[in-house]
């Protein structure tokens, strides 16, 4: 379904509403994904040891998990509805593909976790220990299966595979489900996202437990919780670093503009250095090599080339190379892609008109032109290639914030585990304060990671094939503006309510002794 005219204000408001919903939703999801497995580990220890302290620990964290789970579901449902209300052209264009993983998520994973959640939360002393433990593990597995299917759908938007465009219906159709499920983008996105969620959950458990130790309350619960969380967090943070490295290489292959933006690389080079720390002087121009890009930066020689290809000498294209092309390295310019995209759009219209007129010869000629140029179909909606560049400083700073915090968390887990095993944590008040204040930074790392993934691929809703401006619904702009502010108020109230309820649960927990 093609749009002749675009209301850019409507596009911006629709994007803002979706971003608002997604940002709030992602405040709740990571904690659900990771805490579910921490709960399962804690209950397993209880079943194996038979010590009531572990039952008490499990039930406490289960209460916090349940509060977060309920609000996460509410925001997630709204997010999925927005595909139909605000992005109906997108739903039409790729619904045959995008709808499948979301349907599987709802039918299989969500029902699974919801069903066993009831047994897990209300089944204490009503079912056997073994069945209750099984239910807890199934909630954890179900929660993460939900994430799998949603991330598969998102990964397909970043790297569309396993599809065929039907020119008669103007829709993309699935031809290989397994290619979509097991694409390298989907695998890396899932593994990196859930490992980062596990890290955030472990930081949350550490921080709350550290507060108890600082207040000299519930020390038995806090010490044991910190040992489990730091062990789980350390393992998962190392895994997060590994999957992050793999994800970066995947971005380089399928989204080179995002990769260049992540590192603020305007002009390509061999032996490209990685900017470890950098501050932009101002937003540079990809058309003027003399523009000063950096006010200050610290580089690691050759590391960007190595990170992208495992070869420190590889040429890494910059934003200028992608916009203007680089014949020496076989890079097609965005100017040429726009021309081919416009040819594809025009050929599709000619094909559909020829089909209606029963002119098979003209339809065949138009179809060949369309298929030759379809790879760059989405570029045809633009005239200015600079509109295809994301907000580089936003992506750069988000990426480096995420990476820097991730490395900090590895150190926090390591130190906490060392001090915890040696029984020195209660005396290391500075370490407890670090663990406590790491909680908001863990949430910041999650949000900046999301910003890298989503703002970095702009303006694409489906990479190379569909920009956001052609995906939006043809609805009244005012209604989107009104619902944006309504959602903002509702989500903020929900967030405040969750924080207050959690704080109340944490503060009112009675000291169980057993130090």
Tell whether 351 is covered by a domain: no
Range of the domain at 134: 8-255+390-507
H-run or E-run covering 461:
strand 460-462
Whether the pLDDT of residue 5 is over 60: the answer is no
* Helical residues (DSSP H) of 357-467, grouped into ranges: 360-373, 392-421, 429-455
Instruction: Tabulate helix, strand, coil % of the chain (nearest 5).
Output: 75, 5, 20
Q: Is the whole model's pTM more than 0.75, yes or no?
A: yes
Q: What is the mean pLDDT of residues 326-349?
A: 94
Count: domains in the chain: 1
Q: pLDDT digit string (tens) for 136-192?
A: 999 999 889 888 998 999 999 999 999 999 988 888 899 999 999 999 999 999 999
The pair phi, psi for residue 326, each rounded to 5°, is: -150, 95
Range in 2-16, 211-225, 271-285 with the lowest mean pLDDT? 2-16
Q: Give the model's confidence band at 3: pLDDT under 50 very low, under 70 low, under 90 confident, else very high.
A: very low
Q: Which residue in this structure is represented by tokens 């302290």?
A: 53
Position 84 scores a pLDDT of: 80
Residue bearing the bigger pLDDT, 68 or 199: 199
How far is Cα of residue 498 from the mean position of the Cα atoms in its chain?
Answer: 22
Tell whether 130 is covered by a domain: yes
Q: Give the model's confidence band at 1: pLDDT under 50 very low, under 70 low, under 90 confident, else very high.
A: very low
Q: What percent of the chain has pLDDT over 70?
A: 96
Tell whether 211 is covered by a domain: yes
Tell whether 159 is covered by a domain: yes
What does the block give as tokens for 26? 């992602």
Q: What is the mean pLDDT of residues 334-351?
A: 95
Whether the pLDDT of residue 69 is over 60: the answer is yes
Tell whether 268 is covered by a domain: no
Whether the pLDDT of residue 2 is over 70: the answer is no
Tell whether 16 is covered by a domain: yes
Q: Which residues contact 378 (CB under 8 A, 6 or more apart)?
A: 341, 460, 462, 464, 465, 466, 467, 470
Position 4 scores a pLDDT of: 43
Residue bearing the bigger pLDDT, 360 or 73: 360
Tell whether 65 is covered by a domain: yes
Position 290 scores a pLDDT of: 57
Tell whether 234 is covered by a domain: yes
276-283 LR contacts (CB < 8 Å, sep 24+)? 276/300, 277/400, 278/396, 278/400, 280/393, 280/396, 283/392, 283/393
Whether the pLDDT of residue 379 is over 80: the answer is yes
């Amino acid at each position: 379904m093609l749009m002749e005219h675009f209301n850019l204000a409507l596009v911006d408001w629709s994007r803002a509403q979706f971003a608002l919903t997604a940002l709030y939703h992602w405040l709740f999801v990571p904690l659900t994904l990771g805490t579910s497995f921490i709960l399962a580990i804690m209950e397993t220890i209880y079943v194996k040891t038979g010590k009531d302290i572990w039952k008490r620990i499990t039930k406490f964290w289960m209460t916090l998990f349940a509060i977060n789970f309920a609000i996460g579901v509410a925001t997630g449902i709204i997010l999925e509805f927005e595909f139909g209300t605000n992005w109906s052209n997108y739903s039409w264009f790729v619904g045959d593909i995008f709808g499948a993983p979301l349907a599987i998520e709802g039918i299989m994973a969500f029902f699974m976790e919801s069903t066993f959640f009831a047994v897990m939360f209300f089944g204490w002393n009503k079912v056997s220990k073994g069945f209750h433990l099984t239910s807890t593990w199934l909630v954890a597995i179900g929660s993460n299966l939900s994430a799998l299917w949603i991330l598969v759908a998102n990964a397909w938007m970043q790297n569309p595979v396993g599809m065929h465009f039907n020119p008669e219906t103007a829709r993309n159709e699935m031809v290989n489900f397994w290619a979509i499920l097991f694409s390298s983008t989907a695998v890396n996105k899932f593994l990196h996202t859930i490992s980062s969620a596990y890290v955030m959950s472990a930081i949350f458990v550490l921080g709350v437990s550290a507060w108890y130790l600082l207040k000299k309350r519930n020390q038995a619960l806090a010490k044991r919780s910190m040992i489990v969380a730091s062990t789980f967090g350390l393992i998962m943070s190392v895994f997060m670093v590994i999957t992050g490295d793999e994800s970066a290489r995947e971005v380089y292959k399928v989204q080179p503009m995002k990769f260049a933006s992540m590192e603020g690389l305007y002009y390509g080079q061999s032996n490209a250095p990685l900017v470890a720390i950098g501050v932009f002087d101002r937003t540079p121009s990809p058309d003027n090599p003399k523009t000063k890009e950096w006010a200050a930066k610290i580089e690691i020689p050759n590391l960007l080339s190595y990170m992208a290809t495992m070869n420190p000498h590889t040429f890494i294209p910059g934003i200028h190379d992608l916009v203007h092309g680089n014949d020496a390295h076989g890079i097609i310019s965005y100017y040429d892609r726009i021309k081919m995209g416009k040819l594809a759009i025009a050929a599709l219209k000619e094909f559909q008109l020829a089909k209606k007129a029963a002119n098979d010869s003209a339809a065949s000629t138009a179809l060949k032109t369309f298929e030759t140029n379809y790879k760059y179909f989405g570029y045809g909606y633009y005239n200015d290639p600079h509109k295809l560049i994301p907000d580089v400083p936003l992506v750069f700073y988000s990426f480096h914030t995420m990476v820097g915090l991730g490395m900090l968390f590895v150190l926090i887990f390591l130190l906490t585990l060392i001090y915890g095993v040696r029984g020195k944590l209660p005396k290391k008040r500075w370490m407890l304060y670090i663990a406590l204040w790491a909680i908001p930074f863990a949430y910041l790392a999650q949000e900046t990671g999301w910003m890298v993934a989503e703002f970095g691929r702009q303006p694409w809703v489906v990479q190379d094939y569909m920009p956001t401006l052609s995906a939006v619904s043809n609805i009244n702009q005012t209604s989107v503006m009104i619902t944006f502010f309504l959602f903002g108020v509702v989500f903020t109230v929900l967030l405040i309510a969750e924080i207050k309820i959690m704080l109340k649960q944490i503060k009112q927990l009675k000291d169980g002794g057993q130090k």
